[in-house]
Amino acid sequence: MQYNLRSLLPAVLSSLILLSSAAIAPAGEGATTATTSNKDTAASAKIASNPNAGNVASVNGATITQARFDSAMTPYQQQIAAMGEEAVTVEQLTQIKTKVLENLIGTELLYQESLKSGLKVEEKEVNATFDEQKAQFASEVEFKEALKQYNFSDSAFKDQIKVGLIIQHFIDKKFTETTTISDEEVKKYYDENPSYFQEPEQVKASHIMIMVDSSADKAKKDEAKKKIDHALQRIKAGADFATLAKEVSEDTYTKDNGGDLDYFYKGQMVQAFEDAAFSLKPGETSNVVETEYGYHIIKVTGKKEAKTITLAESKEEIRTGLKSNKINSDVSSYVTDLRAKAAVEIYLAQ
């Protein structure tokens, strides 16, 4: 199993250093030149030949190393490799590099302001966070492999965690603790976005599946059909559905849970499957249903009618989302102001 360290780093470090994958678009889809803000930012920086091998930029005298830049580029390089080198143009790759570098500069500026504020992070908090992240992996080997992808040692990863925690504490103190969203703002958002609060009809179902490819020959299909028919006979004779699913279902993702698929709405399952499921009442079991994946027996265990989610039900989630957006916007503006006043030298070749 592969993990991405972006999901392991503290929130601010994750978003500012290792960014979102949305920046990469295939060639011909959203391929543009650098944005005006990027051009303005680049113009404000002093472009110089690299006087120190291994550095890509300097921010108020603090260097950003090539190794740090390469780590931040890792997820993009992985995506490009998966898509094929021809899927990303030279111009797009330049934009990605520029964005990565600018985010590293922004992170460094936030870190410097965090230190100026006198904030510190205790080693026990760093170690606790490190242990929490490590615990998300199935084994030590998988954790080490994930670190290796980003050229991190344990100590280097702890250093990154420490930076992220200091910045997070700074943002919490300067922005999060002082940002409030009023009830009026919540209601305004609710009233202006009615489609967001429509919950479609849903059913909760379990299934027993015997897998067979739609392109399989008649003999294999007949063999699979015989197995599912036998399972249906056992159910009609009184066998417990969940117990039987654990015994005979070939859906490895659900069989251990008795075939439970939880709630789903129309459009989430293949057509034949959802047509059968939505036609059943809670407690009812289908006959054999054929899909492109094989044969199924479906039991509906619950149903939710379509409804409008009320303001009372959604207000705290709305408030949390609006507050998060406001903080992100304020932090972004703050970094832009810091960037305009900073002494920045860029050595990275474009």
Tens digit of each residue's pLDDT (9 = 90 or more) over 85-94:
788 898 999 9
Residue 43: the pLDDT is 40
For residues 302-319, average pLDDT: 96
Confidence at 114, pLDDT banded by 50, 70, 90 = very high
Q: Which of 36-40, 83-87, 297-301 has the highest mean pLDDT?
A: 297-301
Q: Where are the domains of the chain?
A: 5-180+324-346, 201-305
What is the pLDDT averaged over residues 213-238? 95
Q: Which residues, 6 or more positions from 76, have their beta carbon under 8 angstroms from its beta carbon?
A: 21, 23, 24, 96, 100
Please give the single-letter amino acid code of residue 229.
Answer: D
Class of domain 5-180+324-346: mainly alpha
- Mean pLDDT across the chain, nearest whole number? 85
Q: Are strands 344-346 and 307-308 parallel, antiparallel or unpaired?
A: unpaired
Question: 201-305: same fold as 5-180+324-346?
Answer: no
pLDDT value of residue 83: 85
Query: Using only C-alpha atoms, what is the Rg of the chain?
Result: 27
Better pLDDT: 14 or 35: 14
What is the predicted pLDDT for the residue at 136? 86
In this prediction, residues 43-51 reach a mean pLDDT of 46
Tokens of 316: 């705290």
User: What H or E segment, with its residue span, contains residue 298?
Assistant: strand 294-304
Assigned token pair, 252: 């490895």
- Give the residues across from 295 on adjacent strands: 210, 290
Helix H or strand E encompassing 223:
helix 218-236
Using DSSP, state whether 183 is helix, strand or coil. helix
pLDDT digits (tens, 9 = 90+) for 241-284: 999 999 999 999 999 999 999 999 999 999 999 999 999 999 99
How distant, in Å, are the alpha carbons of 65, 66, 101, 119, 145 from that of 10?
A: 21, 22, 19, 16, 19
Domain formed by 201-305, architecture: Roll (3.10)
Kindly state the percentage of the chain with pLDDT values over 90. Answer: 65
Q: Long-range contacts: 26-32, Cβ < 8 Å, 24+?
A: 26/83, 26/87, 26/88, 27/86, 27/87, 27/88, 27/89, 27/92, 31/89, 31/91, 31/92, 32/95
Identify which has the larger pLDDT, 151 or 105: 105
Residue with tokens 């898509």: 83
The residue among 41, 65, 98 whose CA lies nearest residue 342 is: 41
